[in-house]
Structure 1
Amino acid sequence: MKKNQILKSWKLSSVLLAALVSLTLSCGKSERAVPVESIDPPVTARTFSNPLMNGADPSVFQKDGVYYYLQTNGSSINLWSTTSMSKLSTAIPKTVFTPTSGAANSRNIWAPEINFFDGKWYIYYTAGNGDDVTQRTWVLENSSADPTTGTWVDKGRLFTTDTNFWAIDGSVLELNGNRYFMWCGRPDVTNTNLTQNIYIAKMANPYTLTGAATKLTEPEFAWERNGFGVNEGPQALTSPDNKVFLIYSASYCGTDDYALGQLSLKTGGDPLVKADWTKSTQPVFTKQPQSNAFGPGHNSFFKSPDGKEYWLIYHANSATNQGCADRRNIRMQKFTFKADGSPDFGQPVATGLQIASPSGEK
C-alpha cells in the first residue's frame, strides 16, 4: 500500500472512531434535545380589485365591527352586512323594505342610507309614486339591535314647510350634539326647473325636521353643469383634525363627467349658514378613462376595521357613454388628508388592479 493511501485510510478510521465515541456518550446522557425553532409561513397580503359588484349609490355605516351596506335597487331596499368590505360581493343581502303597491313611496326607490341614532336604526331613502315630480325623502325606523332583523316601521316623509317639493339623496350630518338633514332638491314646487341644489335643515328628532331650510350649494361652475346643473348626493366627512367637509356629486349622472365637489365648513361655523361654507372651485374626484372610470360619484365613507385608514366607496361606469343606468358598478379605494386637513381622494383606481384590502380585515 502506498504512503498516501495509508494516510487516507488512517484519517477515515479516526473520523469513524470519533463519531462512534460521540454517539456512545450522547446515549448515556439524560439532557433534553435542543428544540428546533418553528418558522411561520410568510403572511400573504390580502388584496381585492374593483369593481366590487354591480350597482349605484353606495352607502356604508359601521357599528361594532360590522359594515352595513345599501345601494339603489329601485323597487325595494336590500341590506348587506359584512365584516370585510373587500368581500362585500360574497355577502347575502336581506330585503328589509318592500313598499305597498300604489303608495306614495312605492316607486323609484333610490339612494337608501342607514344610521343608528338613540338606540334605534333609521333608513333614509328616496321614493315616489312613479311620476318624477313626486320624488321625496322618507324614513324607516327599527328598534332591533340587529337591523337585519326586527320590524322596519314607516315614519313618513322628511320635509320643511318652505321646501316641501322634489327631494332626493337624504343624508345626516352630526355636529356638536346636533343633527342636520341634507338633501338634493329642485328650486320650487312647479318642478319645471330641473336644476338640483343641496339643502340642509336641523332635525328635531331622527324623523322630523324643524325650522327653515338653507340652500348650501347650487351648480354654478361648468364642471357642475354637464348634461344639466346638478348638485346631489351630499355626504359629511370629518377629518382626523375635526374639520368638517361636505362632499357632493355634480353634473348629470348620465354623463361621463359626473364628479365629486367639496364644501368646507369654517372652524366653529354654523352648518345652517351658507356663508360659513367654502366651495371648491374645482372638482375633487373626476373620471379617469385610462382606468376605466367614467362618471365616478355618489359616494360614501368608512374606516378600515382597525380604524387606521379612511376609505371612499362610489359608483362609476367602466366605459364611455354608459349613462345613468344598470351598467354602473361599485368601487372603493383608500384616501388620505392633505396638510390643510382636506381630503385627498387621488384618482379612480384602475379596474382589475390588485390593491391592498383595508387594514385589519380578516
Structure 2
Amino acid sequence: MKKQLILLFLLACGSLFAQERTFTNPLLPSGADPYSTYHNGYYYYTHTLGNKLTLWKTKNLADLKNAESKLIWTPPEGTLYSKDIWAPEFHIIDGKWYVYFAADDGDNNNHRMYVLENTSEDPFRGTWDFKGRVAAWPDRWAIDGNVFKYNDELYMIWSGWEGNTNGQQNIYIAKMKNPWTMDGKRVLIAEPTYTWEKQGDLDDEINPPHVNVNEGPQYLEHDGKIFIVFSANGCWTDYYALGLLSLEGRDILNPASWKKHPEPIFTKSEKHSVYAPGHNSFFKSPDGTEDWILYHANSNPGDGCVGKRSPRMQKIEWNKDGTPNLGIPVSEGTVLKIPSEN
C-alpha cells in the first residue's frame, strides 16, 4: 500500500511538473502593449495600465498570473504626464534601469515620451527618479518609444505625427546623447504606404478617418542583421498587424538604408480566433537558444482596443534570408512548451 501511495505521489508530481513546463495563451486576461526584460534569472514584465507603472517579476513568464508585482510610480496630478500612460518599456542601459513611457494631461494632442531612472541592480529596490521628457527636434506628438544600442551608440525609435495634428502615425528614429536626452533631429524611416497598412473597419463610426498607422516599433537583431518590427492599422480594427523594416545600408539614420517589406509578417487568424495581433516585443529564452515574441491580441472580432487585448507569447523562427518568421498566432487551446531553460 505504501509503495502504491508513493507511486501515486510521484505520478502527481510528474504531472504537475509537466503542466508547469507547458502553457496556453493568453498569459493574462488583459494587458495591452506587453514588454519583458530578462535579467539575472528573472523576467521583468509590464504592460499599459493607463494611470501608473507596475513591474512584474517571475522566473516563468508563462506563469504571469502568479508573478510578484510592484507599483513603481504614480504620476503627480496636474502635469503634462499625469494621464494616459501607454506602452511602458523597462531597459537596462550601462548598468542602470530605465522605464520609457508615453503620457499626456488628458489631451491626446499632448502625448510625449518620458523616462524614469533607477540606479539599483534590483528594479524592485531603490528609487525611480523622473528624468523628464525625451524629445527630438521638432518636438511633436510621440508614443511607443523603444531604445537600443547600435555600434555602441544609443538610439530611440517611436511613433509620431509629422505636424501638430492627427493625420497619420509614422516611425521616427533619433540618436541619443544619454538615456534621457535626444541628440539632434528626428528622422522619418517609415510611414503607411501599402494597402495592408491602411485597412479599416468601414462600419466603425468612432474612428473611421484615422487608419493610416505605423506604431509600436521594436528593434530586433539576428546574426548581424538589423530589423524593426512595427504595428500597422488602427488598434481598434481587426486588421492590426505587424510589418517589417530591414536595415539594408550602414547609416542607420539614413531613410534610404531602411527597406519595408511589401507584406505583413504577422496577421489575424480567424481559424485560430486571434484578432488584431500586434504591439509586440521580443525576448530570448533563459538559455539563449530560442527567440520569442510577446504580443497582445483579441479573442473575438470587433473587440477593439479598450480592455480586451490580452498578452500572448510564442516561439519564432528565422527564414533562410535571415528575416524573422513569426508564424501564425496560435489559438488559445494550443499547448506550448515554455522557453528553453539552462
The alignment's TM-score, normalised by the length of structure 1, stands at: 0.85
The correspondence for 1:235, drawn from 207, 218, 237, is: 218
Partner of 2:238: 256
Partner of 2:204: none
Q: Give the C-alpha shift of residue 87 in structure 1.
A: 1.0
Partner of 2:175: 202
Q: Check conservation: 1:51, 1:352, Cα contact below 8 A.
A: no
Partner of 2:308: 327
Q: Check conservation: 2:112, 2:133, Cα contact below 8 A.
A: yes
Kindly provide the amino acid, as one letter, of the partner of residue 183 in structure 1: W
Partner of 1:178: 153
Query: How far apart in 2 are the matches of 1:155 and 1:194?
Result: 30
Please give the per-residue CA displacement for 1:275-322, whole angstroms capped at 9, x wherever unaligned: 111100100000001211100000000111111111000000000000
The correspondence for 2:93, drawn from 117, 125, 128, is: 117
The correspondence for 1:76, drawn from 37, 52, 73, is: 52
Higher mean C-alpha deviation, range 126-135 or range 268-277: 268-277
Q: Give the C-alpha shift of residue 247 in structure 1.
A: 0.2
Kindly provide the amino acid, as one letter, of the partner of residue 206 in structure 1: P
- 2:68 counterpart SS class: coil
Q: Check conservation: 1:48, 1:354, Cα contact below 8 A.
A: yes
The correspondence for 2:83, drawn from 107, 131, 145, is: 107
Q: Show the 5 A alignment for 1:1-362.
A: 44=18, 46-53=21-28, 54-162=30-138, 164-189=139-164, 191=165, 193-227=166-200, 228-239=211-222, 241-266=223-248, 269-360=250-341
Query: How far apart in 2 are the matches of 1:339 and 1:265?
Result: 17
Please give the per-residue CA displacement for 1:214-244, whole angstroms capped at 9, x wherever unaligned: 10100111111123100000000111x1211
Q: Give the C-alpha shift of residue 92 in structure 1.
A: 2.8
- 1:234 counterpart SS class: strand
Q: Check conservation: 1:299, 1:312, Cα contact below 8 A.
A: yes
Q: Check conservation: 2:119, 2:126, Cα contact below 8 A.
A: yes
Q: Give the C-alpha shift of residue 84 in structure 1.
A: 1.0
Q: Check conservation: 1:287, 1:348, Cα contact below 8 A.
A: yes
Q: Check conservation: 1:219, 1:231, Cα contact below 8 A.
A: yes
Query: How far apart in 1 are the matches of 2:195 and 2:332?
Result: 28
Please give the per-residue CA displacement for 1:112-155, whole angstroms capped at 9, x wherever unaligned: 00101122110000000000101000000011111111111111
Kindly provide the amino acid, as one letter, of the partner of residue 297 in structure 1: G
Kindly provide the amino acid, as one letter, of the partner of residue 175 in structure 1: Y
Query: How far apart in 2 are the matches of 1:93 and 1:292?
Result: 30
Q: Check conservation: 1:338, 1:344, Cα contact below 8 A.
A: yes
Structure 2 stretches of 5 or more lacking a match? Answer: 1-9, 201-210
Kindly provide the amino acid, as one letter, of the partner of residue 244 in structure 1: I
Query: How far apart in 2 are the matches of 1:271 and 1:56?
Result: 29
Q: Check conservation: 2:58, 2:68, Cα contact below 8 A.
A: no
- 1:69 counterpart SS class: strand
Kindly provide the amino acid, as one letter, of the partner of residue 91 in structure 2: N
Greater Cα radius of gyration, structure 1 or 2? 1
Q: Check conservation: 2:277, 2:295, Cα contact below 8 A.
A: yes
Q: Check conservation: 1:308, 1:359, Cα contact below 8 A.
A: yes
Query: How far apart in 1 are the matches of 2:336 and 2:24?
Result: 6
Q: Give the C-alpha shift of residue 161 in structure 1.
A: 2.3
Kindly provide the amino acid, as one letter, of the partner of residue 311 in structure 2: I
Query: How far apart in 1 are the matches of 2:49 and 2:298?
Result: 17
Q: Give the C-alpha shift of residue 352 in structure 1.
A: 2.0
- 1:133 counterpart SS class: helix
